[in-house]
Homo-oligomer: A and B are copies of this chain.
Amino acid sequence: MRYLEDIQVGSRQAFGPYEVTREEVIDFARKFDPQPFHLDDAAAAKTYFGRLSASGWHTAAMTMRMMVDGWSSGEATASLGSPGVDELRWVKPVYPGDTLTAEGECIEVTPSRSRPDMGSVRNIITVRNQHGETVLTMRSIGLVRRRPADA
């Protein structure tokens, strides 16, 4: 088990790939973001996006899936969940047929002042498409247990 003490500022982790399908882009948009440019080719052609593109929240969800798969493939972290993210940016559109990958870089590890058994970890997450273009960035915050005295 990886505890707060095992997480190093500057460490990096790669996630993915995730294949973006037209079916999933439309299914997500129908449920959660039914704006015409996420649902309809003709409507999308008239916008900045140029063609059908994924909801930004779908891209965030795909990023989460890549990260959960990555975490569960390695040594487990004593995670206590996440209070949120800062500076989520949809940098470029994500299109059906794209293949996404993600990278996390740890920028801060902070023991809690009020809770001696835990601390927070901040990572910059960068998601790129198959052309190496950055499509999404965010600063994630995670809560992680400190190593118990008997571990």
Contact = CB atoms under 8 A, between A and B. Distances in A.
A148 to B, nearest CB: 16
A64 B33 CA distance: 6
B88 A61 contact: no
Interface string A72-113: 000000001111111111110000000000000000000000
B68 A64 contact: no
A65 interface: yes
A55 B64 contact: yes
B86 A87 contact: yes
A80 to B, nearest CB: 7
Interface of A: 28, 31-35, 47-49, 55-58, 60-62, 64-65, 68, 80-91
